[in-house]
Structure formats: C-alpha cells, structure tokens
Structure 1
Amino acid sequence: MEQVQGALSGALSGPRPGSWPGSRHRPVVIGICGAQGSGKSTLAQTVQARCAAERLASAVLSLDDLYLTHAERQALARHVHPLLATRGVPGTHDIALGLDVLDGLEAGGPVALPRFDKARDDRVSEHDWPIVGPGCQVLVLEGWCLGAFPQRTRELAEPVNALEAGEDPDGRWRRWVNDMLGDSYQRLFARIDRLVLLAAPGFEVVHRWRSEQERDLAARAGPDDKVMSEAQIARFIAHYERITRAILAEMPARADLVVRLDRDRRPQAVEAR
C-alpha cells in the first residue's frame, strides 16, 4: 500500500479550502471505485490516516450508506421491477441525500453522515448518524460503481448472466438501472476531484471477496441480523456483474489513479495520471 499512499499524496497536497473558485469551504473529494470486497473501506481508512498526518480534517462517506430504505426498495420492486428489491444497483440509492451532504460540507458544516446497516438491510436512524464538524477539508467517497458511465442502448440487449436472462428477459430492469446511472448519479460523480480505481483481475474473483466480507459480517451480526449464504451471495453479485465488467473495461483509461490487484487483493501495479 505504500505505492498507493505515495500516489495519493498529490491529491492531499493539492488545493486547500479557500483556494477553490467560488467556494471558501469546499473539500477535496477523493472517489474510490472498486468491486465488492476489493478493499475500498481499507483504502478509505488509509487516506484518513494520511489526512490526519497532514493535519487535514477528513470524513468518509460510502455510496452504500445512501441506500434507499428497505420499504422504499420494496416499493420499487412492486412498481418498477422485482429485482429492485435487492440493494446496490443504480436507482437503489438516495442520490439527493448524498448531494445534500456534499452541499452541507461546502457550506461549512456541521453535517450528519448517513449510515446503512447491511445486517438489517435498512438505513440507520438519523439520530445515530455521525456528525462531521465544520471545516472538513477532504471527503473520501467510496462505492462499487463510483464514477461509472452508463452503457449504450445496444450494449444492454444481450444478458450477461443467468439472472438477467431468467429474471430480466425483456431488459426492462437493466435499461432502468442504466437510465438511473446516466442521470442523478452523474451529478454526484461530477463532484469527485480525484478518482481512484481498485481494479480486480476480473469479475470472477468477486464472489470470493464478497464471501470473505460476509463472514466478517456474520462474526459481528446479532441473532436477528441477515447474513447471506454462498448461494445468496452468487445471486447477489450477479446484479452487479454488468456494470462491474464495464468499469474494468473502460475506467482504467480515465481514472486518476489505478491500483491493479491480484486475486488476494495485493497491489501489483499503480498507475497515476
């Protein structure tokens, strides 16, 4: 990770609050994109530690923490497509909430950061959201599809896996998800100043990585919490296969920093632009 930390130094030693045109308080936003289990949270913590060493006030927000509530996703499943009951794809996040957080930080704070409880599959009560004090200088924003572009319509025609073939045969779900990605998500992604991609060696490793995450979750879960089986994990990650493959194909050419990982998540190469 030393190579990664060194490459990020430029972003952290860049403009400070007060030097951004038209905004006295605007924090530098570092976006971290990576497939499930690729180490986004670990890298976010590393960036925070580096910020502390540089005496920069920082905060971390995950795209996961912007998930719609369980009830809201159930409503989408009833009215748009049944596959939207599963959290994660574009359209299942409250992007307006994320933009409100960024606006609040730009205004100088303090700001409450949303939190989502994956074991309960629901948003944490607002009373329990952590507060970021005034003067946040660096915001680390991380998510599995952060910075992704929508696909062209013709690219959506053929299903990429059994889930799409069997449960979205007419392509309605994937077209809707693609439309969402091309709309409000691009407004959120436009606020990113530096985009970091943790590039998996291929989609095939994602199941193993996600299984490791689930085991960690199970170790902390209570008796009423929801933890997925291996079969459920396979179905779960199938929802993200299309966009993950598209990211791995095109994002390395435009991300500010690309960290190429091996199957054990060890950095094999770091490419800065």
Structure 2
Amino acid sequence: MVNIRSLDPSASPLDYYGSELRRLREEANLGQAQLGSILYCTASLIGQIETAKKVPTRQFSERLDAALMTGGVFTRLVGLVLKSQLPTWFQAHAEMEAKATYISTYQSQLVYGLLQTPGYARAVLSVDNPGRPDEMVAARMERQRILEREHPPVLCVVLDEAVLRREIDGAEVMRNQLAHLLGYLDHPWVQIQVLPFEVGLHTGLLGSFNLLRFEDDPDILYTESYDSGHMTANSQAIRERSVGYARLQASALSREDSAELIERVMRERYGHQPGPAVA
C-alpha cells in the first residue's frame, strides 16, 4: 500500500519539498508510478521523497520541474534542501562562505571542501556519516556551486603537502582528486599553493582555518574542532591570522611549482600520468 504519511511542510525544507511534490503531482492527476515513468525513476523513489525519507538531487529536481511544468520551483528549492543536510554546527559557516567575496584557507589534513571530487568527499564524509553518504556528498557538491556563479568569490588555498600524500580511499580516488586540483591551474579566481614539507616550522601548525572577506560586512575567521565550528569577527584574531596566512603563502610553492608537485605526487605515489585537467 502506498505510504501517505502526513507531513508538516514547516518542519524542514525536505518536508516542504516532499509536500509540494505530492500536491503538484496530485494536481497533475499523476500516480507515483506514472510520474516515476516520466522521470525514469521508480515509484518507490517518488514515495520516499514525498515522505521526506529520501533527499532529492538537483538533477531529479530539474527533471521534475520539466515534467510538472513548475517554472523551476523544485530546482530553486533543492538548494535549501541540500544545505539543510549539512551538520547543524556547520550551516552558519556555509551561509557565510556563500556570501564571501574573498576566501583564504589553509588546510593541513584534507582538500578544502569546495575543491573535493565526489569520490574523495564520499570517503571523507563516510567516516562519521556511514548511513547517509549520498545526502552528505550532494550537500557538499551544492556548496561548490558558488564557484560556478557569474561572479564567484576569489579563492586562495594553501594545502600542506601531507594533503597530497595522505591516501584517501585508494589510488584512483586520489588520482582523480589531484587531477581535479590541476584543473584549476588557469582558473582566474582560484589559486592553489602547496606548502612543502621542507618548510618545517610554520604558522599553520596549530591547524586549518578559513578567512572570509565580504563587501560590506566584517571579516570572519573560521576554525573547526572534531564536531563543532567556531566563527569570530574579533579584529585582533583576524589580524593575527591574516598575517599568518600571508606568511604561509610566502613560504608555499608558487602556483606553477605547486602544480608540478601535484603532478609528481600523482604520478609517483598514485601511479598515473595526468591526463586532461578536470575543472
């Protein structure tokens, strides 16, 4: 029997999406199986999304808008749905990240989230979220859409060399991830530098951090612990980390030399000559 569990549309973006899908499907006089046939998916998937048991993808939402002729309603709504899947403690930072005009980040352990491939992100996110990797990866990919805007933020990234050499989920995942980084070599608004091991003592040894700059709002410093994030607009903290970041950039390899190191690590450690760059 079809699950017709009642939803409270105000409970969450996912519940609202599900209730609107059911309402508009029924207005179109379509059963779940009929709509599934149009969208090339199962009736079960339609039912799971309508009852907020499954998170819709952007691709599903685009096909849904075309099928129900809803003028982009679900394509616009899915952004809110996917953002709501981020950890609660991280959502405020994601909102600020999306508004920033200039992002500077130092990463000591992992590739920065905005530059992760789906495979790399899935491996990283599955460590603490083994039951819902699809939703978490979709949310991370949604975050990355800010780099595709007409006016994207300037993104400056300093990666510790350890990030390149730490094998995440096998050689193939790492080859794809490093190739993805190389794809940004000629990107006008993204700069990637690698801080080599030979630098030794440096100002980033206390951990990763992000500096967000805005058009009209104060700068923000974001740091993260195991299960929480901390944002501050304290002027002294911003000043100290800004100077620290400038020193990290000065100690790091140039953009071109960083790309050469990434290529070398990909070839020597993960056994593959780089092909066409993936942007």
State the TM-score bracket (shorter-chain normalisation): under 0.3
Q: TM-score, normalised by structure 1?
A: 0.24
Q: TM-score, normalised by structure 2?
A: 0.23
Say which one has the larger Rg: 2
Structure with a larger share of its residues in helix: 2
Q: Relative contact order (alpha carbons < 8 A, sep ≥ 6): 1 or 2 greater? A: 1
